[in-house]
Amino acid sequence: MTANGKEAKCPFCGSEELEEQTTDYLYTHDDKYLLIPNMPVLVCSTCGMVYYPGTVLEEVERHFFNIYNQQEQPDGYIQMPTLAYAGSGN
Ligand SMILES: [Zn+2]
């Protein structure tokens, strides 16, 4: 009997102060990557936890597989520097 349209609630601290924000999200699967700039997320204003709405993640997953199955073109490609932290002493 909850009729206050807001179903969003922080599972971590129980706060209902969830703020809609955007973030750059890097989806990884089997050593493949898909970067989603400005992905909508929910951020708890009380404890700062970041939540990815399930529907958004499903979307991302679908695009990811479409792109890697070559059924869809990504909007672009980026180059990233990488650093393998091996800790080899001299
Ligand atoms: Zn919270």
The 8-class DSSP code of residue 70 comes to T
Given a cut of 90, whether residue 2 has pLDDT beyond it is: no
Summary count for the chain: helices (H), strands (E): 1, 3
Determine the distance separating the centroid of ligand 1 and the alpha carbon of 16, expressed in angstroms.
8
Residue 27: what pLDDT? 95
Q: How far is the centre of ligand 1, averaged over its atoms, from the C-alpha of 8 (Å)? A: 11
Q: What is the pLDDT of residues 10-65, one digit of tens each?
A: 999 999 999 999 999 999 999 999 999 999 999 999 999 999 988 999 999 999 99
Interval 81-90: pLDDT, tens: 999 888 776 6
Tell me which DSSP letter residue 56 carries: H
C-alpha span between 76 and 65 (Å, rounded)? 16
**What is the model's pTM?**
0.72
Domain boundaries, given as residue ranges, for the chain = 18-68
pLDDT of residue 85: 87
Helices (H), the chain: 54-68
C-alpha–C-alpha distance, residues 25 and 90, integer Å = 36
Tell how far the Cα of 65 is from the centroid of ligand 1, in angstroms: 32
Gap from CA of 77 to ligand 1 centroid (Å): 34
pLDDT bracket for residue 7 (50, 70, 90): low
